[in-house]
Structure 1
Amino acid sequence: MADRLIRRFTLITGVLGFTLALGTAGFRLIEGFSWFDAFYMTLTTITTVGYQEIRALSHAGRVFNSFLILFGVTAMFLAVGAMTQTIIELELQDSYGKRRKRRMIENLHDHFIVCGFGRVGRNACAEFERTKAPFLVIDRDEQRAARATNAGMLAIIADATQDDSLRRAGVLRAKGLIAALASDAENLFIILSAKALNPKLTVVTRVTEEEAGEKLRRAGADTVLTPYTMAGRQLADTLLRPHVVEFLDFARSNLGQEITMEEVCVSSKGELRRRTLGELLRLQRSGAIVLAIRQQRGETIFNPSPDVEISAGDFLIVMGKRSSLKELEQILTNQ
């Protein structure tokens, strides 16, 4: 669409420019007008404003002007028609785009909402894109929202601290929310609003001032991250345990397109809750590695043995090929 509009605008500009140049040169050569008078005569002719001639034209000048009227007026009408068509197409495209975006938002379920498309929000969205998780961006800054849209993301221009904005984003159907605005106070408002609208929503946020972390937790935040504390610990760990840090970084981001880490919830369907981990892996036969089990009662078992029993509501932290993890997830959720 953009390329077609550019070509159309270039064509209109070229035709009008050629007509003005042709008429100006013709009146200059045939009638001896000054360059400005020749341009003025051409402009009044092709725009049909009805002004009188600057001075009486010769026979040759009238013949030339007759052809200029036919060609120039036709070119002007075509240009006006093309510009009108362009404006109408842009309006229709904008209207269709808004309706399409509204339908896409209405079709979202179990999605994630990212409030703020700053540095933190952009990195969170990049991870959602990498894992193909459904998500929506809310930002009141038009340029940031446009940047997200241009990157192929679903984004709306709205104030995330307002209940209506969160409803537009489908907070009642959402699975989780990231409050990533620059101000702790604004993130607090988002958490209060989101939890009031959807108490089951999982909300995570970042905090600038460490003292505000407890307030955000009391407001309903499930996880509060302190970037400066995390960065300080990682810097120290890089010196104290460099190989551990290198492995964790590798496990998080350098596993490649086919290898990933995921968490899979054990469904309450079927008889799976009476199986051991070893029986499950033999049933799957695809080589997924179970790193840990987060049991429903809150205990985490690292490097679980094959004899550990799996119960409904447990989460398996697994690593392996995406196809293998998908197969394991189907076994855990469909049986």
Structure 2
Amino acid sequence: MAEDSSDITQGRARGKLLLPDQVRSPWWELGRRLLLAVAILVVTVLLVWIDRGAYVDGNDPTGRVDLIDSIYYTTVTLSTTGYGDIAPVEEHARMLNAFVVTPLRIAFLVLLIGTTLEVLASQGRDLFRAARWRKHMTSHVVVVGYGTKGRAAVDTLVNNGQDRDSIIVVDPGAAALQEAHADGLAVVTGDATRQDVLRRAGVERADQVIITTDRDDSNVLATLTVRQLNPEVWIVAAVREQENVALMRQSGANSVITSSDAVGRLLGLSSLSPTLGSVMEDLLTYGEGLEVAERDLLVSEVGRQPQRLPDQVIAVVRDEKVYRYFDPVVTQLARGDRLIVVRPAKELPWAPRPGTHDEDLAVEDD
């Protein structure tokens, strides 16, 4: 995972946490500030004009203050110019200037130097958001590498109910940073083979880690580092070459996906049987046609054969082992089993079929 040399990633190899910005139009920000400035001016002018009898104009023989004088006094006061030719003489007017006009003057000055203050406020806000994120982020998903495979993995998680706020991306690239932020994801920029970078992503408290960079050696090193920091986390890793699967498993990955072999098999199936290839592509495409899903066994399904269920069961998970639906071990379904099924995409993958949502799950007794 080579470091990106572009300006946007300079100084970020240490794993700085960057949360997605709340994007607002610059015209909206400019208009908001202008409206606030005009509002302060209008309010101050009205205060002086309504109480004009308590002010004296030193340049007017009569000493009276009119509307033009009120506007003039407001502008020189809010800008702190203060020529002194118009001044409050009554006690209540002076108190009004001290406790009302002075705060308005401060607010007006803040607007004048708003750009600098906005930068400082933004930095402080980012630090606060990052600290709050680290405090509350537990049982989250860390995605190492935000290329094509990483984005597809995140989309699948989100479409199956995972909250975007519980996903964080680790990637050193400028393009990945921009794309992840555009997708509403938090990002730690840096090399995922370094412990300090992974710690900033909260790997020690994560439930799952998905490792999908473009290089098998980087994936292996990242897997080793993740496993060292969190011996219990579930790691799913991608490799490009089949010969690296065993090495990836030895490094600590619970599940290994061979991307080049998977694509090659799909190409071969599509060549031998276009219809079979289209079905396989349908199974791999979220939200259309058929979906492969895992769900709990229902009480009403205990003791039944997998082939007799409304869902098309293709495998049964029992005691953390996967059995094909025709395996004699799972001829009768038992409490605690989980089912791997093929069902219509319109149904929630993690839920029972329609009409059975209120049934109890067949979980094992403690």
**Which structure dedicates a bigger proportion of its chain to helix?**
1
**Structure-2-length-normalised TM-score:** 0.59
**Which deviates the most, 201-210 or 229-238?**
201-210
The yes-or-no answer on 1:119 pairing with 2:145 is no
Matched residue SS, 2:352: helix
The yes-or-no answer on 1:183 pairing with 2:190 is no
Tell me which residue corresponds to 1:276.
303
Tell me which residue corresponds to 2:27.
6
Change (3 A) 1:182 1:247: closer
Asked if the contact 2:296–2:339 (Cα under 8 Å) also holds between the matched residues in 1, the reply is: yes
Q: CA RMSD in A?
A: 4.1
- Please report how far the alpha carbon of residue 210 of structure 1 lies from its aligned counterpart in structure 2 after TM superposition: 4.0
1:293 to 316, 322, 329: 316
Matched residue SS, 1:324: coil
Asked if the contact 1:203–1:222 (Cα under 8 Å) also holds between the matched residues in 2, the reply is: yes
- Please report how far the alpha carbon of residue 222 of structure 1 lies from its aligned counterpart in structure 2 after TM superposition: 2.3
Matches within 5 A, 1:75-114: 81-82=110-111, 84-114=113-143
The yes-or-no answer on 1:192 pairing with 2:224 is yes
2:238 to 165, 181, 206: 206
- Please report how far the alpha carbon of residue 100 of structure 1 lies from its aligned counterpart in structure 2 after TM superposition: 2.3
Tell me which residue corresponds to 1:167.
199
- Please report how far the alpha carbon of residue 201 of structure 1 lies from its aligned counterpart in structure 2 after TM superposition: 1.9
Tell me which residue corresponds to 1:27.
none
The yes-or-no answer on 1:262 pairing with 2:285 is no
The yes-or-no answer on 1:324 pairing with 2:352 is yes
After superposition, what is the alpha-carbon deviation per residue over 1:166-194, rounded to whole angstroms, capped at 9, x for unaligned? 22222222222111122222211111111
Bigger RCO of structures 1 and 2 (CA < 8 A, at least 6 apart): 2
Asked if the contact 2:315–2:322 (Cα under 8 Å) also holds between the matched residues in 1, the reply is: no
Asked if the contact 1:112–1:177 (Cα under 8 Å) also holds between the matched residues in 2, the reply is: yes
What is the alpha-carbon distance in structure 2 between the residues aligned to residue 299 and residue 127 of structure 1?
22
- Please report how far the alpha carbon of residue 237 of structure 1 lies from its aligned counterpart in structure 2 after TM superposition: 0.7
Matched residue SS, 2:152: helix
What is the alpha-carbon distance in structure 1 between the residues aligned to residue 201 and residue 115 of structure 2?
31
1:232 to 264, 279, 286: 264
Change (3 A) 1:255 1:123: closer
After superposition, what is the alpha-carbon deviation per residue over 1:59-100, rounded to whole angstroms, capped at 9, x for unaligned? xxxxxxxx9xx89x96x9999853522332333234323432
**Which deviates the most, 181-190 or 81-90?**
81-90
What is the alpha-carbon distance in structure 1 between the residues aligned to residue 207 and residue 32 of structure 2?
50
Matched residue SS, 2:204: coil
What is the alpha-carbon distance in structure 2 between the residues aligned to residue 221 and residue 243 of structure 1?
34
What is the alpha-carbon distance in structure 1 between the residues aligned to residue 359 and residue 249 of structure 2?
31
- Please report how far the alpha carbon of residue 289 of structure 1 lies from its aligned counterpart in structure 2 after TM superposition: 4.9
**Structure-1-length-normalised TM-score:** 0.64
What is the alpha-carbon distance in structure 2 between the residues aligned to residue 100 and residue 274 of structure 1?
47
Asked if the contact 2:192–2:198 (Cα under 8 Å) also holds between the matched residues in 1, the reply is: yes
Matched residue SS, 1:199: coil
Tell me which residue corresponds to 1:315.
338
What is the alpha-carbon distance in structure 2 between the residues aligned to residue 108 and residue 149 of structure 1?
18
Structure 2 stretches of 5 or more lacking a match? Answer: 1-21, 35-71, 82-104
- Please report how far the alpha carbon of residue 233 of structure 1 lies from its aligned counterpart in structure 2 after TM superposition: 1.3
Matched residue SS, 1:331: coil
Tell me which residue corresponds to 1:61.
none
Asked if the contact 1:277–1:309 (Cα under 8 Å) also holds between the matched residues in 2, the reply is: yes
What is the alpha-carbon distance in structure 1 between the residues aligned to residue 25 and residue 184 of structure 2?
20
- Please report how far the alpha carbon of residue 207 of structure 1 lies from its aligned counterpart in structure 2 after TM superposition: 2.0
For this pair of structures, how many residues does the alignment match? 268
Change (3 A) 1:297 1:142: closer
- Please report how far the alpha carbon of residue 110 of structure 1 lies from its aligned counterpart in structure 2 after TM superposition: 3.1
Change (3 A) 1:9 1:291: same
